[in-house]
């Protein structure tokens, strides 16, 4: 069970006061005329609003509504914007709420908007797009999905999580028409990724009203269904400095959705600065460019994995991260008290867990490199061409809590005799020009899409991020299960994923997860380093939120900052 608890510090070890929720009756009480303030380091006027364009894209989670909430402690789905009216065999009927309206003109959000979202997810090879072959409108607020076989129910339900209906149909009709005409999604995708929207659209409880160089301002939509729970009038994003700890401790903002603080913040946090934890279901990874002259070789990747001490890497991240025990794409390496966990083994059999290689043998790493023609002289590694072995690790400059992780990897590789260098690149270009373009030696990213079910992590590696890793699924190889030094054999990993996507049999699911985990453990398209707990921060001098200790359960769904206002769990004092 992936459940996170509270942080240390403050009167009750999490800060905040044990007081009651401020009451609010929208028919009798006047709202507090104030704004909840979030930070950004960007200039908001540089944002564009096509969320599928990786260049300066922006969408706000209070400006649109989420399809479903997943509660991690209860393993429970709460359908919010949609309801699954029918799900059997190879088709599903999905009902859309009929009480949402687009901010710009008051038009009703309808089935055409939902169908558009599904088609765009297919164009982008998203998880949701993978579960259906066709989608049609069967009512004003209902779509019918012709599924890609009898979909594994766990896969179908989870495909809707962590997603918002943020694509109005008439803004994307050109791409839908091309999809309907049967054009290859590989041809449509680049145009969708380059498409820019200058005007933000939404149907959520807050509407964008003002954008300047330093401010993104939204106002409450009083006729939104969730507005009855919200007792304040505005939501603002302020442009701040890059030192997040300083911004937080200086009370420049009211909340941060997720921030791993340095010791100076943790040790000096005042009582009314509250922090709550929830399972992140992800952590930092070291992606490999599989076209690279060195790390394109699977045995070289394995050697590097042997040299990297993941325990040391996790320690550098701070108290809210733990090392990944057996890099394989299985979530569950950290518990709610920020201690190591073996919950990742629950996905597979004991034998399958024991078989996974741990990558903690430096001498094996050296043997692997020598077998591939590399040599070591005077504690310096040389390539088969007798040149010093050099690698660059590229990371986003503004994501400062990641930096110690990759700097530690750099130091460990240097200690082994590999000339590793960290290159920090501005966030505005890191994703579009480096990681998403597959232009790096070693990069930095998360190793899951923040879903616990292993299918989604495997699909991230071999389908969604394959182009960023320069991964050709025809080239995937692995030795026989349990024999890391055995002969490499070709593996149809896409076929295995398709079987996992469609199986209805739990035992078969475990068997398939076990097999793909082994392949991932050996092929290493990226090296999972740490698994973390997310930390959400609230200043309670002017705001009330549930106590993270007494009401820990309220924090166990992604994400408290977006759900609390909608449920009356974030109130202005």
**Which pLDDT tens digit goes with each residue over 454-470?**
999 999 999 999 999 99
- For the chain, domains (ranges, CATH) are 32-47+226-278+535-572 (no CATH), 68-194 (3.90.76.10), 284-528 (3.10.105.10)
Burial 279-315 (b: 16+ CB within 10 A, else e): bbbbbbbbbbbbebebbebbebbbbbbbbbbbeebbb
Is 56's pLDDT higher than 80?
yes
- The upper half-sphere exposure of residue 172, i.e. CA atoms within 13 Å in the direction of its Cβ, equals 32
Distance of alpha carbon 148 from alpha carbon 498, whole angstroms = 9
Q: What is the mean pLDDT of residues 205-228?
A: 98
Look at residue 514 in the predicted model and tell me its pLDDT. 98
Q: In what order do the strands lie in the sheet containing 142-147?
A: 82-88, 91-96, 142-147, 132-139
Is 22's pLDDT higher than 90?
yes
CA angle 336, 274, 230 (to 5 degrees): 105
Q: What is the mean pLDDT of residues 502-525?
A: 96
Look at residue 428 in the predicted model and tell me its pLDDT. 81
Is 121's pLDDT higher than 60?
yes
Distance of alpha carbon 287 from alpha carbon 445, whole angstroms = 7
Is 336's pLDDT higher than 80?
no
Look at residue 421 in the predicted model and tell me its pLDDT. 98
Helix (H) or strand (E) holding 178: helix 173-180
Look at residue 399 in the predicted model and tell me its pLDDT. 87
Confidence at 400, pLDDT banded by 50, 70, 90: confident
**Which pLDDT tens digit goes with each residue over 425-438?**
998 899 989 999 99
Higher pLDDT: 336 or 55? It is: 55
Distance of alpha carbon 81 from alpha carbon 37, whole angstroms = 26
Q: What mean pLDDT, rounded, does the chain reach?
A: 94
**Which pLDDT tens digit goes with each residue over 78-111?**
999 999 999 988 999 999 999 999 999 999 999 9
User: 31-45, 112-126, 260-274, 348-362: which has the minimum mean pLDDT?
Assistant: 260-274
Look at residue 192 in the predicted model and tell me its pLDDT. 98
Instruction: Return the bridge partners of 532, or none.
Output: 321
Helix runs in 379-439, H state only: 403-416, 427-429
Q: What is the rounded (10 degree) CA torsion for 97, 99, 105, 111? A: 20
User: 67-71, 118-122, 548-552: which has the minimum mean pLDDT?
Assistant: 548-552
Look at residue 190 in the predicted model and tell me its pLDDT. 95
Look at residue 398 in the predicted model and tell me its pLDDT. 86
DSSP string, 488-547: PEE--HHHHHHHHHH---HHHHHHHHHHHHHHHHHH-SEEE-EEEEEEEEEE-SSEE---
Confidence at 18, pLDDT banded by 50, 70, 90: low
């Amino acid at each position: 069970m992936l459940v996170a608890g509270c942080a240390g510090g403050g009167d009750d070890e999490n800060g905040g006061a044990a007081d009651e929720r401020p009451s609010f009756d929208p028919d009798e009480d006047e709202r507090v005329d104030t704004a909840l303030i979030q930070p950004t380091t960007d200039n908001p006027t540089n944002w564009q609003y096509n969320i599928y364009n990786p260049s300066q894209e922006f969408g706000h989670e209070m400006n649109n509504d989420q399809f479903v909430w997943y509660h991690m402690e209860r393993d429970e789905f709460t359908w919010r914007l949609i309801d699954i009216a029918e799900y059997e065999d190879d088709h599903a009927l999905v009902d859309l709420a009929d009480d949402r309206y687009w901010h710009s003109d008051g038009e009703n959000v309808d089935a055409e908007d939902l169908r558009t979202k599904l088609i765009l997810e297919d164009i982008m090879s998203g998880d949701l797009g993978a579960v259906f072959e066709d989608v049609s409108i069967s009512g004003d607020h209902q779509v019918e999905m012709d599924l890609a076989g009898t979909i594994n129910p766990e896969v179908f339900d989870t495909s809707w999580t962590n997603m918002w209906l943020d694509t109005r149909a008439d803004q994307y009709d050109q791409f839908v028409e091309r999809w309907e005409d049967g054009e290859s999604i590989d041809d449509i995708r680049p145009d969708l990724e380059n498409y820019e929207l200058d005007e933000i659209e939404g149907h959520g409880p807050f509407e964008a009203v003002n954008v300047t160089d330093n401010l993104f301002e939204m106002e409450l939509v009083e006729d939104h269904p969730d507005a009855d729970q919200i007792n304040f009038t505005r939501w603002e994003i302020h442009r701040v400095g890059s030192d997040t700890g300083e911004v937080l401790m200086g009370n420049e903002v009211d909340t941060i959705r997720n921030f791993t603080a340095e010791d100076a913040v943790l040790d000096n946090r005042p009582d009314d600065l509250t922090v709550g934890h929830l399972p992140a279901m992800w952590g930092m990874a070291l992606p490999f460019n599989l076209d690279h002259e060195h790390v394109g070789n699977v045995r070289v990747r394995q050697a590097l994995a042997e040299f990297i001490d993941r325990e040391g890497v996790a320690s550098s991240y701070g108290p809210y991260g733990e090392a990944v025990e057996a890099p394989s794409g299985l979530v569950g390496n950290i518990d709610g008290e920020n201690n190591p966990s073996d919950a990742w083994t629950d996905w597979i059999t004991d034998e399958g867990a024991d078989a996974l290689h741990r990558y903690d043998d430096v001498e094996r790493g050296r043997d692997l490199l020598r077998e591939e023609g590399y040599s070591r002289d005077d504690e310096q590694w040389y390539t088969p061409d007798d040149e010093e072995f050099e690698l660059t690790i590229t990371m986003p400059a503004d994501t400062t809590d990641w930096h110690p992780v990759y700097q530690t990897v750099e130091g460990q590789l240097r200690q082994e005799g590999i000339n590793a260098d960290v290159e920090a690149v501005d966030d505005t270009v890191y994703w579009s020009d480096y990681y998403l373009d597959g232009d790096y030696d070693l990069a930095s990213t998360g190793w899951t899409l923040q879903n616990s079910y292993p299918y989604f992590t495997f699909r991230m590696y071999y389908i969604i991020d394959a182009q960023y890793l320069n991964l050709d699924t025809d080239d995937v190889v692995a030795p026989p299960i349990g024999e890391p030094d055995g002969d490499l054999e070709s593996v149809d990993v896409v076929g295995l994923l398709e079987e996992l996507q469609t199986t209805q049999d739990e035992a078969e699911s475990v068997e398939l997860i076990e097999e793909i985990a082994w392949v991932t453990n050996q092929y290493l398209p990226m090296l999972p380093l740490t698994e973390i707990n997310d930390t959400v921060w609230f200043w309670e001098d002017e705001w009330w939120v549930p106590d993270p200790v007494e009401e820990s359960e309220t924090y166990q769904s992604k994400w408290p900052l977006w759900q609390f206002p909608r449920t009356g769990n974030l109130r202005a004092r």
